[in-house]
C-alpha cells in the first residue's frame, strides 16, 4: 500500500467515526424524547429494514431522506431520532436534516443501541 492509500483509508475511517458521534444523544435524553412523542427514523436501506426492524420506526433510506422527510415530519420542530446499522449513516442524516432547518434531530447511532433505547427486539 502506498502512503496515499493509507491516508485515504484513514480519512474515510476518521470521517465515519466523526459522523457516528455527531449529534449523538444520551440514552436518558432519547427515552425522554420518546416519552414526549419523538419520531424514530431508520435510515438503513429498504432491504436492511425488511430483514430486521424495530417497532414504531419509520424507514426512510438515507438516499431518500431529503425528498421524503417532509411527508413524515412537516414541522421542523419535531423531535427526530435517527438510527442505522452502525451509526455513520444516521450521523450523516442528522447533519443533512439540520442543514434543511430541522431543529431537534439526534443520532441514536447503531441498530443495537436503538434497540436498547427503544426496548424492542428487532424482527
* 8-state DSSP, 55: T
Catalytic residue among 84, 97, 117, 118, which? 84
Q: Residue 93 is placed in which grid cell?
A: 442524516
84 labelled catalytic: yes
Q: To which H or E segment does residue 116 belong?
A: helix 111-118
Helix ranges (DSSP H) in 73-110: 88-99
- Cβ neighbours for 89, distance < 8 A, ≥ 6 positions apart: 43, 44, 62
Residue 85 backbone dihedrals phi, psi, to 5 degrees = -80, -45
Which residues participate in catalysis according to the annotation?
84
Amino acid at each position: 500500500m502506498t502512503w496515499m492509500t493509507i491516508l485515504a483509508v484513514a480519512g474515510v475511517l476518521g470521517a465515519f467515526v466523526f459522523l457516528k458521534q455527531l449529534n449523538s444523544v444520551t440514552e436518558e435524553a432519547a427515552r425522554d424524547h420518546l416519552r414526549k412523542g419523538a419520531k424514530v427514523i431508520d435510515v438503513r436501506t429498504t432491504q436492511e429494514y425488511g430483514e430486521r426492524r424495530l417497532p414504531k420506526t419509520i424507514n426512510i433510506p438515507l438516499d431518500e431522506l431529503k425528498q421524503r422527510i417532509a411527508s413524515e415530519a412537516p414541522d421542523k420542530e419535531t423531535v427526530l431520532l435517527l438510527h442505522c446499522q452502525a451509526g455513520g449513516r444516521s450521523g450523516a442524516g442528522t447533519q443533512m436534516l439540520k442543514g434543511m432547518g430541522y431543529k431537534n434531530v439526534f443520532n441514536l447511532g447503531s441498530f443495537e443501541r436503538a434497540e436498547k433505547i427503544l426496548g424492542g427486539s428487532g424482527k
